[in-house]
Amino acid sequence: MENAHYELVSPAIQSFVESYLQPESDILRDLNDFTQQKAPFPEMLAGHYQGELLRMFSKMIQPAAILEIGTYTGYSAICLSDGLRQGGVLHTIEANEELAPHIHSFLERAGLSAQVTLHIGDARKIVPALQDVFDLVFIDADKPSYALYYDLVFDKIRPGGYIIADNILWRGKITDESATDRSTVALREYVRKVHADERVENIILPIRDGLMVARKK
């Protein structure tokens, strides 16, 4: 999820790097337009730049199974699915049931109805019931639950698998110790928890609103 009016690099640098992105597909461009015009909180969209990064990660990992917590309108799910192996699957979880028809529509247009399973509901209840072993997990949902999601998915990830968490820098508030709102505090706790976990190796990427990548040893 992107945060409106917050960038870690200058507008000139951002414009430069975005000018060398692969073109946005027609489906993703339509999904972007739909989100900006009709979806609640359009600033939550992953967007072209981050979508391309997620697509690249997925293609490097070549996962057989992906789990996404926080579908929103489906942009990142479509990007992540591009790296799936033949016969691979992606499970994506969204709490807002009103978005479901739109997500299904764009997944169908992308030819992903057979590969992507949309779960509507509470991820805290859905994740424990999933039977797959995942190669890649992408967390972009309610920030106070990040640490819980990490614990819920950890044993479902194969050794060598990855957990990517979005919005880690939280508009820069993560470094401001005077910022004590619930989401900022939760994200600080998540970063410290993952960094202290000897079962993983991790890195924070200062891209957009920050991505924390953890690899299970």
In the DSSP assignment, the letter for residue 98 is G
Asked if residue 96 is part of any domain, the answer here is: yes
Asked if residue 206 is part of any domain, the answer here is: yes
Asked if residue 110 is part of any domain, the answer here is: yes
The number of domains in the chain is 1
Asked if residue 2 is part of any domain, the answer here is: no
CATH of the domain at 152: 3.40.50.150
Q: What tens digit of pLDDT does each residue of 134-183 get? A: 999 999 999 999 999 999 999 999 999 999 999 999 988 999 999 999 99
In 3-state terms, what secondary structure has residue 71? coil
CB atoms within 10 A of CB 71: 25
Q: In sequence order, which ranges of the chain are alpha helices (DSSP H)?
A: 11-18, 26-38, 47-61, 75-81, 100-109, 123-126, 146-154, 182-196
CA-angle at 36, arms to 70 and 99, nearest 5°: 40
The one-letter amino acid at 150: Y
Asked if residue 173 is part of any domain, the answer here is: yes
Range of the domain at 187: 11-216
Q: What tens digit of pLDDT does each residue of 65-105 get? A: 999 999 999 999 999 999 999 999 999 999 999 999 999 99
